[in-house]
Structure 1
Amino acid sequence: MSDWLFDLGNSRFKYAPLLGDRAGDVQAWTHGAEDLRGDALRTLPQGGTAYVASVAAAGLTATMLEILRMRFQHVHVARTEAAFADVRIAYATPARFGVDRFLALLAAARTQRHVLVAGVGTALTIDLLDAHGQHHGGRIAASPTTMREALHARAAQLPASGGHYREFADDTDDALASGCDGAAIALIERSREQAQQRLQAPVDLLLHGGGAPALLPQLPADAGHQPLLVLDGLARWAVHLPSATG
């Protein structure tokens, strides 16, 4: 029976078959806290084992796990560990390090290069991983989408979306897009600069998450984009699971 990977984020739900140690073709939904049910759930796959990563609210996560346990023989939930395979997390309390960030590092470690991993979703997360698998910590900020939504919530006349990136915008919509995207771009570039100073070596830049494509044109041409980084990390976790502790 087939095995599947499930990634339940704050705003999107993604799943893909496990193919070797990587994710296969991905299907994704945008969800709200009450929307993870109904006709769409009846199209979910069934199989032998489900491997699950979730950063969603506890109630939403519990709902998804209940559904998957009815459709799969086994369900394994990924959790951050201090050390797994060749990755060692910097956090003194690994449980406080989001499992999505942990899995992204597991996937990024395949490169065996110094890499700055930036996830652009509901939050903007930035993590530094060296070529030996040591995590050096990171940052969390609001993503451009969340910044726009927060501004709109406080000042309804400021649209929550729209506009184009301009270095010096002459229109409010463009100014909002430029300011919020620019804040993320600046934080990523600053983090890379500091990472290279810390490691005294070049550091690759790797982006993932639904908001990454909007930032890539404004970042250096060598910035990489791996949309499936968390699912690929979950696949790697699944393959190594028999040797895992906890």
Structure 2
Amino acid sequence: MSRWLFDLGNSRLKFAPLDDAGRIGRVQAVAHDARAFAPGWDDALPARIGEAHVASVAAPELRVALLDGLARRCGRIELAATQARWAGLRIAYTEPARLGVDRFLALLAAHARGGPWLVVGVGTALTVDLVDGDGRHHGGRIAPSPALMRQALHARAAQLPAAGGRYREFAAGTDDALESGCTGAALGLLARSQAGAQEACGAAVPLLLHGGGAGALLAHLPQAVHAPALVLEGLARWARPDASA
């Protein structure tokens, strides 16, 4: 019986097979326009799937489109949901259901790696969450990602390009200034978060980055750990028979 993992985000669907030992196979990704998938998005999937484990933060109609597509070839579909406690992880939110399932699963995967982590998701939004070595989630932050900042500026002032430029500490041109300002805002938020994390945990806390926009920040964060499939890692732990233990 084959098992597959599906991570439906705001701009991409990532999916991978899961073997009997809980190891994730080759991760594939397809883009979407927030309303529908392109024809043939599921060509890489087998004709029959035993179990599908799904995490979704996308709009309801897109989630329904995914579930409808899976129902035609899948025996069982399980939709992951944020829990207050799971596999040693304790969520800080007073209303755990309001913590996005992608952040919950990323924290679950981070906790499984051991030690404290500042978990950073870089997608449409920039999310930052602190989990200590005992699995206690201290809470987090949500901000626009650098890409979204650029898009928002372009939407309000069309003469400002939505992309392009190079990071400079002090830029001598508009494109570079935009790139430096938006990337610098994200880096400043992470620096402040790391300082707060060190105060909360009593020692320096490393960064664990994931998400489609992580690459733009990694060049400026040489000590950060890149985990592009972190949400799928957490979903794999969710899918274990003893998952909540």
TM range (shorter): over 0.9
1:70-81 → structure 2 map (5 Å cutoff): 70-81=72-83
Aligned to 1:28: 29
Q: List gaps (5 residues or longer) in structure 1.
A: none
1:126-145 → structure 2 map (5 Å cutoff): 126-145=128-147
The 3-state SS of whatever aligns with 1:13 is: strand
CA contact (8 A) 1:22 1:231 kept: no
Residue in structure 1 matching 2:67, options 49, 61, 65: 65
- When residues 116 and 243 of structure 1 are mapped into structure 2, their CA distance, relative to the original with a 3 A threshold, is closer
The 3-state SS of whatever aligns with 2:37 is: coil
Q: List gaps (5 residues or longer) in structure 2.
A: none
Number of positions where the alignment pairs a residue of Structure 1 with one of Structure 2: 243
Aligned to 1:167: 169
User: Which letter maps to 1:186?
Assistant: G
In structure 1, distance between residues paired with 2:215 and 2:113: 21
Question: Is the counterpart of residue 227 in structure 1 residue 228 in structure 2?
Answer: yes
Question: Is the counterpart of residue 85 in structure 1 residue 96 in structure 2?
Answer: no
Deviates more, 1:56-65 or 1:73-82: 56-65
In structure 2, distance between residues paired with 1:157 and 1:103: 39
Residue in structure 1 matching 2:180, options 178, 190, 198: 178
TM-score (norm 1): 0.95
CA contact (8 A) 1:208 1:225 kept: yes
1:88-107 → structure 2 map (5 Å cutoff): 88-107=90-109
TM-score (norm 2): 0.95
- When residues 171 and 65 of structure 1 are mapped into structure 2, their CA distance, relative to the original with a 3 A threshold, is same
User: Which letter maps to 2:201?
Assistant: L
1:36 shift after superposition: 1.2
CA contact (8 A) 1:54 1:100 kept: yes
CA contact (8 A) 1:22 1:236 kept: no
1:199 shift after superposition: 1.5
Question: Is the counterpart of residue 198 in structure 1 residue 204 in structure 2?
Answer: no
Aligned to 1:12: 12
Q: Deviations over 1:80-119 (max 9, x none)?
A: 0000111110011111000000000111012221110000
The 3-state SS of whatever aligns with 1:28 is: strand
In structure 2, distance between residues paired with 1:195 and 1:89: 16
The 3-state SS of whatever aligns with 2:42 is: helix
Residue in structure 2 matching 1:54, options 45, 53, 56: 56
1:135 shift after superposition: 0.3
Deviates more, 1:99-108 or 1:57-66: 57-66
The 3-state SS of whatever aligns with 2:75 is: strand
User: Which has the larger helix fraction?
Assistant: 1
